[in-house]
Structure 1
Amino acid sequence: MTLLSSERSAARLPDSKPPTADGGVYGWQVPPIHTAPPAISSAGQEAIDLAARAGLRLDPWQQHILRVGMGEKPDGSWASFEVAVNVPRQNGKGGVIEARELWGLFIGGEELILHSAHEFKTAKNAFKRIERLIRQTPDLHKRVKTYRQTVGEEGIELHTGQLLRFIARSKGSGRGFTGHCNVMDEDMILGDTEMDALLPTMAAVQDPQIWYLGSAGIGAPSVQLGRLRRRALAAIETGEPDPSLAYMEWSADVHLDECPADCTAHDDPDSDAAVLKSNPGVGYRLTLEKVARERATLSTAGYARERLGVGEYPSDTADTWQVIAEEAWRALAVGDVQAVAGARQAGPVALSIDMTPERSHAAISAAFPYLGGVHVTVVDHRPGTGWIVERAKELHGKYGPRCWVIDPASPAASLIPELEDKETGLGVQVVKPKAREMAAACGQFYDAVTTQSLTHFDDAPLASALAGAQKRALGDAWAWARRIPSVDISPLVAGTLAKWGLGAEVEEPPGDILSNVW
């Protein structure tokens, strides 16, 4: 996960509970992932003050969201057309929504504020909360013409015509309305059909704004949130703010499979520091003791998602082939199998194994010299893992590879002891690249494509992996990102390591290399 922009929190919190002036323990009040376009003023303080008049006292982090999200350009228009808030459950994002909607009704003069949620009951509950705030504030209540209670028509209308409507999202909901402000609650369940229905309603509005609020992505349903997050991370990576998006995310950057035992670059998911970094409501409506009970009860993946904000975000079809262009990859395909086989007979071969984090699929890939460069191919790719060792033994006896390569920090590392065992496996030492060598392998693979010194058979598993592949930071370099929903990159990782294995320092195996082609 890429961290921060210009408003990065000053430092990582230690694992111990940090004391504060009043002796309490509080979560980060500024998000670890934060980007926004420049603004010279903000209407956020007006929203904060109005919420306080209604009895809604906002936490510092909630106030921060409003000040950033309601930032203004020199002409008074919104600096951010879109504002996205990604924070784990039960921290208090509802208070931010209510403050923004109160401002739009009673100060901003927004003619229509459209509040949508993925389920009717969620929208209904939001209506009830803001209705209570208004009714208990006499100078606001007297400005209300009617509280619409009819099912499906819930809303609050002022005597001056402003209207706040609450709807459940669907393919057709929102059509026919012209929203000055759209509030998309529970945005981790928000796809193209809902956006197609709601967003065009704002086209005819001068200076509209859309707010997305929710928790960590849950895979396929999080289409729009995934897009917003990618835009934000791209802005942070380049140092150039997205011209229309303010994005604020509280989440932990937990250890990767490749992390050494003493890694300090990522967060320990079992630590209080990770909780404080991802939960700004700690100290206000959450406690570390309550979170500890969650940690003991939830699954590892469930706890990471629901409490630490570690989400799964689907790739957009428009965002495929992000690392290597499809045209560049397809141009390197060769179809003359016999010519490749003939070239392989004269040179060494390296084989590599990789598998998905869920252990649902695995791949064996090979690399060998060809036409002054390297040819990479997928030897086998199947569901499950039970087939790998026997297939590796078969290939080892058939081709006498110079080495086998497995990333020791990957799920496939569990196979290494059996493969190295003389009785059950190959009886040879598996080459285990270190983290810096993983980064070097990825860089070498990329460079070989760009310099056209790599060829392939246009294997479908390898092409599919590259189509959805993304980078992840690894020190000052990068490696292939394993944790991508619905993308199996095991053929790509195995091919990358096989190519690297051709140059790794190993003891050459005895005997002739056979000329078979798989």
Structure 2
Amino acid sequence: MTSLLDAPAAAAPDPVGSQEPRICTVPPFLSSSGQEAVELSALAGLELDPWQQLILDRGLGERADGRWAAFEVAVNVPRQNGKGGVIEARELAGLFLLGEKLILHSAHEFKTSIVAFRRIEQLIMGCPDLRKRVLRVRKTTGEEAIELVTGQVLRFLARSGGSGRGFTGDCNILDEAMILGDDAMGALMPTMAAVPNPQIWYLGSAGIGGPSVQLGRLRNRALEAVESGEPDPSLAYFEWSIDPHVTECTTGCNEHDDAGDPGAWAKSNPALGIRISTEHVRNERLSMGDAIFARERLGVGDYPSDSAGTWTVIGEDAWRALADGESKPEDPVAFSIDVTPERSWAAIGVAGTSGDATHVEVVDHRQGTGWVVERARDLHERWKPRVWVVDAAGPAGSLIPELERELGVEVVQPKARQYAQACGQFYDAVAARELVHLDQAPLATALAGARKRDLGEAWAWARRGVNVDISPLVAVTLARWGLGVDIEEPEEEVEPWVAFR
């Protein structure tokens, strides 16, 4: 007789893909044409998944004046999940619902554009209600298009430096958006300048480095919006991806996603369990290299930034002019600690007076965070600073309890308003030439790539959306602020009988 204890345990059910994107920003809208687009697609035999419907609902949001809330709509999702269905639904809506006179569909490769043309041709010609509205289907190579009796045209192009010139598109559909640079944008964007209510859609998968410059710009804007809590005013962005582990992650880290976890596969693939099987993804992982699997299936991309190295906030000449290799901070000093969002680097900064100016310096800057508290203890014993400053809302906030325990002092934790004040004061000090530094490379590199993010009516240093480590800059900014912050001095202890005199 077989014991119940010997029976095999029931296999865990395969996960189903997340229908909500991991990274998303959408401008506010009053109404949407999304539901009508979904219903039209169903009429043509195209049944959309919930995540595809979500994109249409939010991407086709309209303002009170009837214009699109999002001038640009970007969909970043791993391959074979169904972005083609989103494209087809948007093009059907443009032709048959929205009255758009010209829709331009372009792809990096001509063969991709042709495949898309044939798919939507089949949808339209296979639906009697839509087919009867078609005037002609042009199949001449390079002239592929669908024209309606009412004048609307959907045209298919392969991207090149000159494609799209001479056309005025109400809507541009840019497939394979991970291969999209300045030349293509320069050719296509001006076509929309004279259109009363234009819209552009980017659809692709994870960035592949240099060719993904435009997708990188869009993604940076989305990350800035997510971090600030304020939606981008003209961009709707949807990304399915994982937040992968980094080198410094400890065993059992639950802040990042494991590439071998089916739950991570579901987070990055909305069609998992619908048109992509867990078994297939598991086989892909066995066959692909880790980096390729992460990019192609988990949405982990390489995105260039054209802002790094441009000194967009503080000019390089202005910063270099304040370098003083002989400067040293005088007592009292203030220290600050900052950590990158992925916790791969940490920095300790110091500030102190130096003549009529404020001296700022990066005391230490190393990989990881395991060294920070011990180094802080050594600095504290040597310098006896007036204050330690750490942004509790930032990545370094997790170090505060251990710091206070080891240093025996209360760490000052600036509020959002005070952090913005610190950034503004740092900027003003540079402009007024009231700051000196040692011209250290980590600080110069951080400033070269630094950008602002809105923080209420003020601004602060942007942590995300830049491809440089700004922890040295944040550390010296908060250290300088710490020189002037009010701190409560401990009350002097007196003998009990003294208090009654």
Local SS of the residue matching 2:167: coil
CA–CA separation in structure 2 for the residues paired with 1:496 and 1:18: 50
Counterparts in 2 of 1:336 and 1:73: CA distance versus 1, 3 Å: closer
For residue 37 of structure 1, report the CA deviation from its aligned partner: 1.8
Q: Which residue pairs with 1:467 in the alignment?
A: 448
1:109 to 77, 99, 105: 99
Match of 2:314 among 318, 326, 329: 326
Is the partner of 1:194 in helix, strand or coil?
helix
Residues 326-405 of structure 1: pairs in structure 2 closer than 5 A: 326-327=314-315, 330-331=318-319, 333-334=321-322, 337=325, 339-340=326-327, 371=354, 374=359, 376=361
Q: Tell me by how many angstroms 1:42 deviates.
A: 1.6
Aligned-pair CA distance for 1:243? 2.2
Tell me the distance in 1 between the aligned counterparts of 2:23 and 2:66.
26
Judge conservation of contact 1:18–1:25 (CA < 8 Å) in 2: no
| Closer/same/farther in 2, CA of residues 462 and 76 from structure 1, 3 Å limit | closer
CA distance 1:272–1:320, shift in 2 (3 Å)? farther
Counterparts of 1:201 and 1:447, CA distance in 2: 40
Distance 1:234 1:169, change over 3 A: same
TM-aligned CA deviation for residue 297 of structure 1:
2.4
Matched, 1:315 2:302: no
Specify the alignment match of 2:178 in structure 1.
188
Which residues of 2 match residues 150-299 of structure 1 at below 5 A?
Answer: 150-299=140-289
1:365-395 Cα deviation digits (max 9, x unpaired): 9999883765648xxxxxxxxxxxxxxxxxx
Distance 1:336 1:122, change over 3 A: same
- The answer to whether the Cα contact below 8 Å between 2:145 and 2:154 also exists between their aligned partners in 1 is yes
Q: 1:136 aligns with which of 91, 115, 126?
A: 126
**SS at structure 2 position matched to 1:94:** helix
Contact in 2 for aligned 1:72/1:79 (Cα 8 Å): yes
SS at 2:237 equivalent: strand
SS of the residue 1:270 aligns to: coil
**Amino acid of the residue matched to residue 49 of structure 2?**
D
SS at match of 2:210: coil
Conservation of the 8 A alpha-carbon contact between 1:223 and 1:314: yes
Structure 2 residue 40 is the aligned partner of structure 1 residue 50: yes
Matches within 5 A, 1:387-426: 406-408=366-368
| CA distance, structure 2, for counterparts of residue 482 and residue 160 of structure 1 | 47
Residue identity opposite 1:315 in structure 2: S
Q: Distance in 2 between matches of 1:298 and 1:202?
A: 41
1:484-495 matches, within 5 Å, as none
Distance change in 2, residues 1:165/1:260 (3 Å) = same
Query: For residues 210-265 of structure 1, what are the alpha-carbon distances to aligned partners after superposition, in whole Å with 9 as ceiling and x for unaligned?
Result: 11111112222222212222222222223222222211111111223343434323
Aligned 8 A contact 1:367 1:495 in 2: no
Matched, 1:36 2:19: no
2: CA distance between counterparts of 1:479 and 1:271? Answer: 34
Query: Does structure 1 conserve the Cα–Cα contact (< 8 Å) formed by 2:308 and 2:466?
Result: no
Deviation at 1:101, TM superposition (A): 0.5
**After the TM superposition, which residues 3-18 of structure 1 pair with which residues of structure 2 at under 5 Å, given as runs?**
none
Q: Is the 8 A contact 1:333 1:457 kept in 2?
A: no
1:147 aligns with 2:137: yes
- Partner-residue secondary structure (3-state), 1:296: helix
For structure 2, the residue ranges without an aligned partner over 5 or more in a row are 1-9, 332-341, 373-394, 401-410, 454-459, 480-501
Residue-by-residue CA offset, 1:187-216 (whole Å, 9 max, x unaligned): 111122211111111111121211111111
TM-score, normalized by length of structure 2? 0.70
Q: Label 1:482 to 1:262 Cα distance change in 2 as closer, same or farther (>3 A).
A: farther
User: Which position in structure 1 is the counterpart of 2:378?
Assistant: none
The yes-or-no answer on 1:70 pairing with 2:86 is no
Q: Percent identity?
A: 54
CA contact (8 A) 1:217 1:225 kept: yes
User: Does the CA-based 8 Å contact 1:116-1:166 persist in structure 2?
Assistant: yes
Distance in 1 separating the partners of 2:42 and 2:464: 46
Tell me the distance in 2 between the aligned counterparts of 1:70 and 1:495: 39
Q: 1:159 and 1:494, CA in 2 relative to 1: closer, same or farther beyond 3 A? A: closer
1: CA distance between counterparts of 2:424 and 2:93? 53
Paired residues of 1:54 and 1:136 also in contact (CA < 8 A): yes
Q: Secondary structure at the residue paired with 1:221? A: helix
| Closer/same/farther in 2, CA of residues 448 and 93 from structure 1, 3 Å limit | same
Look up the match of 2:437: 456
Query: Residues 40 and 270 (structure 1 numbering): CA distance in 2 closer, same or farther, change over 3 Å?
Result: same
Provide the C-alpha distance between the structure 2 equivalents of 1:109 and 1:218, rounded to a whole number of angstroms.
36
Q: Is the 8 A contact 1:42 1:70 kept in 2?
A: yes
| 2:498 match | none
The residue type equivalent to 2:367 in the other structure is D
Cα distance change of structure 1 residues 332 and 221 upon mapping to structure 2, 3 Å threshold? same
Letter of the 2:292 counterpart: G
CA RMSD of aligned residues (A): 4.5
Which stretch of structure 1 is more off in the superposition, 241-250 or 457-466?
Answer: 457-466
Contact 1:87 1:93 in 2 (8 A): yes
Unaligned runs of 5+ in 1: 1-16, 347-356, 378-402, 414-433, 473-477, 501-518
* Alignment CA distance shift 1:298-1:466 (3 Å): farther
Q: TM-score, normalised by structure 1?
A: 0.67
Kept in 1: contact 2:365–2:472 (CA 8 A): no
- 8 Å Cα contact 1:332-1:454 kept in structure 2: no
Letter in 2 for 1:104: G
Partner of 2:17: 27
